[in-house]
Amino acid sequence: MAFVFSCVKDYGNTLRNNEKKETLSGKLVGVVTRGPISPMSKDENLQTKPAIDVKIVVMTLSGKIVETVATDNDGRYSITLPGGTYRVEMLPSSSEMTKDLPTVVTIIKGKETHLDIHIDTRIR
């Protein structure tokens, strides 16, 4: 008597589940820059530059943290989120401020929502 065991994974089902997840989600994308909001000088050191490793926090409207992401070397970030409305904040820093946050964004399934953030260095 012979026994045959099969360990076949249904990759088609896995692909369908991933496709379903993608269609139920959207993305929040953007670039975070650091520089003077109203520069008075043309000095190269005062120009706007990408803000590296800035922590962006996405929460439900009731304040529950959903996702946190850090900007890359180009100041870019991308977060995949279920469709819905969220509050976006930056982790607090004693020396940095922005008028762009906090804000509320709506993520639409299958779409990208763009939110650029400008950090004011307060240098004029």
Q: What is the pLDDT of residue 95?
A: 72
Report residue 111 as tokens.
């779409």
Strand partners, 108: none
DSSP 89-101: EE---TT-B-SS-
- Give the distance from CA 80 to its chain's centroid: 8
Q: What is the pLDDT of residue 94?
A: 60
Contact 20, 38 (CB under 8 A): no
Taking CA atoms, 100 is separated from 32, 79, 115, in Å, by 10, 18, 9
Q: What is the pLDDT of residue 42?
A: 58
Strand partners, 106: 85
Q: What is the pLDDT of residue 96?
A: 81
pLDDT digits (tens), the chain, 124 positions: 444 444 444 444 444 444 445 568 999 999 999 988 765 555 555 688 999 999 999 999 999 999 999 999 999 999 999 999 999 999 877 678 899 999 999 999 999 999 999 999 876 5
What length is written for the chain? 124
